[in-house]
Amino acid sequence: MARRSVSKKGTDEVRPDNLSRGLEAEPYELRAVQRACRKYGTALRQGLLPLRADGDADGQLMRYSMSQERLAQRTTEIKQLLSAAGVSVIRFLAYCNFGYHIDKLSREYDGRALEQEARIAVARWVAKGLDQKILEEICLQVFSIDVVNTAAP
């Protein structure tokens, strides 16, 4: 369904409402990443943020953009997993924060050390009231870390 509106020039124009845009509109996550990267790039150019030691602002912006895209993709995957598991929307933030924590761990550790740190993280977040099975599923499905079938140290 389309809405009819009058522009400032007084001419009628037909604009689709939010529901009829469908595939024409960019996904919210993509727009949010693009907006964050524009703001970050502007802040770098204006000198509001420190440059890396090598002074490569374009490379720094590119790495920031890649990290934001990766984070948006993983957040989307976590939300889809939570929806499929029937988790209340009000709990999404806590599970996404767990995902951000595991994402950071995956950049700092690898192999057995990552599995061990992920097991510790699962125990910590279970103590905060989250469901252990869902946390383990996030580790396995989103980050490819099997915290269940690995031997504890």
Could you list the beta-strand ranges (E) of the chain.
2-6, 12-16
pLDDT at position 49 over 60: yes
pLDDT at position 153 over 60: no
- What is the pTM (predicted TM-score) of this model? 0.74
Q: Amino acid identity of 52?
A: R
Percent of the chain topping pLDDT 70: 80
Residues contacting 105, CB < 8 A, separation 6+: 114, 117, 118, 121
Torsion from C-alpha of 27, 32, 37, 38, nearest 10 degrees = 100
pLDDT at position 12 over 80: no
Q: Residue 69's Cα: distance from chain center in Å? A: 7
Per-domain boundaries in the chain: 26-143
- pLDDT at position 125, please? 97
- pLDDT band of 27, cuts 50, 70, 90: confident
Tokens of 36: 């964050």
Q: What is the pLDDT averaged over residues 50-75? A: 91
pLDDT at position 28 over 90: no
- pLDDT at position 144, please? 94
Express each pLDDT in 78-87 by its tens digit: 999 999 999 9
Q: Do residues 57 and 70 touch, judged by C-beta distance below 8 A? A: no
